[in-house]
Amino acid sequence: MERSRYPRRCHFLLYNSVTVLLHLLKFYQEDIVQRNNSRSYGIVLRCWHDSDDTPPPQDQHDPLMRPLEKGEVGVSFFPNGIREILPESEFTLVDRMFQPGDLCKRSIDDVRSGVITSVDVKGRLEHAISGEPVLDWKSMNDIETPADVDIGDYVAYDNWIGQVRPLLLFDEAVVDVSNGQLVRLPELSSRLTVGEKGSDIIPPPASVGNLFGLFSRPLRNGHTDTVVDVKHSVLAISWLAINQSVSSIQLPAEAAQSISRPERFWSGENLAKLKLVRSRAEWMMRVGDKVILKDAASLPSTRHGKEGEPYGVIEVRVYVVRETQTTVDVLWQDGSTETMLTTKLIPYLNPDEYDCWPGDHVLWKGEDEKRVAVVQSVNAVDRTATIRFSDTGDIELASVLELDPHGTNDWSAVAPTTFDGLGVRRGDFIFIHREGTTNGLEMPRVPRIGEVEPWVRELPVVHPDGHYGGWRKTMADIGMDIAHRREPDHIVEGKIRKPAPDDTSLNWFGEVSNLGLDGSVEVTLPNGTVAKYPLERLTRLYDTLEQLEDLWGEGSAQDDPENDHVHEHDSEVWAMDEDGIWQAQANGDENDEWEETDEEEEYVMDVENDAQMDDIHHPNNEVHASWWDHIVPTMTPVLADQQDTASVSQVPSSTLRSSSPDVPRDATEKEDTLVDGAVVTGVDEDEDRESYWKRFEILPEAPRDHAFYNSTPSQPSRNFLTRLQKEYRALSSSLPESIIVRAYEDRSDLLRSLIIGPENTPYEDAPFVIDWMLDSDFPQSPPIAHFLSWTNGNGRGVNLYEEGKVCLSILGTWAGDRNESWSPSRSSLLQALVSIQGLVLVKEPWFCEPAYDKLRGTEEGIINSRLYNEKAYVLSRGFVRRALEIPLGSLESEISWLYHRHGRLAKVLCDARALVEKSRGEAPQEPSSAAGGDRDRELAVPRLTTGGIITLERTLAKLEALQQAPTP
């Protein structure tokens, strides 16, 4: 079965695209559509709601590459290949493609989702050349087993699994040049298929050398050529991994490790030594596929060539799929199953991070323990799940907010590909370890293996004459040699076959076809039999396509689907004046230099001449007084309410915050709180505030729990110290009330900041602590941030990752435009801090994710934002607990004052209890429900689900105990 050149839906797309209102949207990528009032069919390649992280260049020749307007789709029509962007209203949905493991919903506003467990496709066919239709629908049982491989297929040889990659094929096509003559066209990765027609199929002679059977006659003008046969004469195979049971069964471990990869290039009779291992999804018909039917004697055919010619007469019985109808089996989250047409479903392209389905292996995370469990069913409205604990077999009800379906908290920068989440998914290819052995990881982790050889990553080398260099030249040389020798040597390729039903030689490899509620995994083996295995005996294949996608994303944050960012405003540019005050002004030149006063130059020279300069950065050394004698007097913290009118910052702290409607007032602004019928007042504590809530302060020593404490500091340069003095001035005068920063005499390269979550956000009243390090190149390079996450591994926030990453363009951790990125002349620590508070800790943080901002006001946006806000609110209550239970160095007294003496803990408890009671007093509502009226729509967290309440109450019990304990 030959595949069309249309792209397939990649599995990762399901986790990184977005959707919008159904009444605004009809189509998704790979939908099969028919143009209204015509027989013209097409496949949808682009939709308005697709995640376009990088707008396509405006000068693209491809007509589909211009930005789409809402209500438009990019469609490729067949068989002519015309590509157009047209209104959705011009099309009718014919079929929708799914494959096992894909996620789906009935409609965009349906909270419940399902997973596709099996797919059945039938198609209407017509002859690939004549276009004569084949009567009746044809199923996959009518299709002949393919005798050739295609891009993405797996092949097996001698205990190895390999994969056919794009541009790793050398083809020989036989072309009918319309006068009855057949010619052979040998070409590297031509990707031609039987039935293709055109005047450009035969390239100019100079570009390919001698074309067999072609140049004995004059070249024709205005001719139309037709491809009548195609064979892959040479394959280049990327060998990925070895049979994981070979060291246990046939060979000692040392010998297994010494088994070398098979040959790279395969041709001729050797092709018969390979066995085809194709996924269930790849066996399915798709529109545009070229297929061969098992019983085609009475079906349309065409004849090409002449008797007595080198190729004689070729009879073509190849058919193209023109229309499909797909039926799927769906396993819904509640455990029910259903068989239905795919046109009654929509892809679920943006699952919540807590979404899980029956059979999934997860980690249940309580306050002080983690346990492996298998999901039995999920109530998507309540956000609860029935789970079966693997150690005891007990079945319990749990909040989905306490479940980790992905193992993201176990991410490792040292070995990020050691395992790929928790458990396995339907459609995964896996290796099977021998009975009595395991994959070596603690349940429910599953390792993944597969190494892409360096040659696969090499970019094509094309010489001025159009010929390839490198390994592609070697492959082309082999292919051309075979083409030259084919007739005189009677070369015939061996046939690659799928393993027969009685062939058990590959039963160490297979595809996950289902997940059992008892934790077992159903695997379809290459010979078609099905067996069940425990999860610990499986290792997942990390294939070539996945690895190259990951590699392409590493070099640029903009290409990485896991990177999140916020859209920073570029209407203002900030610059620091000579007094250390940051002000908004017109866009400046990136090359603007800092203006240094004579006083600053003299100060820097004094520092550089200090004999003790080598010692000041070592955390265990005594600081030489003269260094700080120069800097401390000018850096004494000054609170805004201590300054006189003349010395107050020209830029009030409120103006440093985003103009986004999401940004509320500062979290420490004065307010009254009702607690148990009494008023806890925070308005008459100015004197207390001055003593315990100093927004900026320089302390003698950096705390040992600082994320960068064990880093090796470098010698501070003149530019570093000059800039540091200005940064300290800005921090001492312009920090908002809800942000405090600590600097250190013994480590001038380190800072620690505390940001209190703003009012009417899911982060309200929660402490967010970020540690900072300034490397030796500062300010030429941005500060390095580390977020102290206290979620117990139960999920990250937008732009704030559990491993500590703070994703923001001003920090260089997200690719923004020029005015968003760090600039030595325009950016500052103050700006970075205020950006986190004003652009990350916002009322609706879900819309800060890439490409989601366009979904504001849509049903999809409302649902996902509410679900996200509930998670953020519940988990950030745990931040309060963590900060009070395990005091942080440099911030102990401040946190104690805020939450105990200032009454913030009482407010947290009061607000949370009120929210719980309100949520319990109402009937269960879906996140998109309009119940509660306009006031609820203005609240960041208007109510909680049952799952949210379960998790929150565990935290509230701990916070109440802390409230009753003696104040430190």
Residue written as tokens 């249940």? 364
- Catalytic residue status for 910: no
The token pair that represents 612 in the structure block: 């003790």
CA dihedral (452, 453, 459, 460) positive or negative: negative
Neighbouring C-beta atoms of residue 650, cutoff 10 Å: 12
Rg (CA), the chain: 33
581 close to 825: Cβ distance less than 8 angstroms: no
Q: Are 227 and 202 in contact (CB under 8 A)?
A: no
- Which tokens sit at 90? 């011009």
What is the rounded CA–CA span in Å between residue 816 and residue 803?
22
In angstroms, rounded to a whole number, what is the distance separating the alpha carbons of residues 477 and 460? 15
CA distances from 46 to 17, 71, 72, 186, 187 (A): 12, 11, 9, 33, 30
Q: How many CA atoms lie within 13 A of 670 on its CB side?
A: 7
**509/430 Cα distance (integer angstroms):** 6
Structure tokens at 148: 């050739």
Dihedrals φ, ψ of 403, to 5°? Answer: -105, 140
Q: Is the peptide bond between 444 and the residue preceding it cis, with omega within 30 degrees of 0?
A: yes
Q: How far lies 415's CA from each of 411, 419, 447, 459, 680, in Å?
A: 8, 9, 11, 26, 50
C-alpha span between 630 and 635 (Å, rounded): 10
683 Cβ contact partners less than 8 Å away, ≥ 6 residues apart:
670, 671, 672
Tokens for 791? 């979620």
Tokens 């249309």, residue located? 6
Query: Smallest Cα–Cα separation from 657: which of 788, 527, 838, 529?
Result: 838
Strand-pair category, 739-744 with 696-699:
parallel
Place of tokens 């790793």: 168
The residue annotated as part of the active site, out of 104, 356, 807, 848, is: 807
Q: What are the two backbone dihedrals, phi and then psi, of residue 284, each rounded to the nearest 5 degrees?
A: -75, 145
3-class secondary structure, 541: strand
Amino acid in the structure at residue 476: A
The residues assigned a catalytic role are 807
